[in-house]
Structure 1
């Protein structure tokens, strides 16, 4: 599953390490874009819980799963 999250404000390098395997990019507006690949739905929910626990205001979330062949 590929995810892209935008959170309000700057996320420190220490917090980005805690959000591994995501990588962070800053935006001109001062927000932070986190993107990466997660192995499954459970990891996605765990990530959402970490974002909540850190108190990071979530501005945008995009998730897409890898195509599965029949």
Structure 2
């Protein structure tokens, strides 16, 4: 017997597909890949500007690059 129903939603930051339990629909969750937080609404209802998502992705990439630079200096 299945453990629950899921829907597929792409992370607005990293773009990876996530299986999200239906009971979390409309709630805030975090991506298991990049840890970005987002609301679980249908993508067609998501009013975010695609360029905004790109900026979030670039900001996250810069954070990761800086954390590697800081770690390798020590």
TM over 0.5: no
Instruction: Judging by fraction of residues, say which structure has more strand.
Output: 1
Normalised by the length of structure 2, the TM-score is 0.28
Larger Rg: 2
Q: What is the TM-score of this pair, normalised by structure 1?
A: 0.29
Bigger proportion of residues as helix: 2
Question: Larger RCO: Structure 1 or Structure 2 (Cα < 8 Å, ≥ 6 residues apart)?
Answer: 1
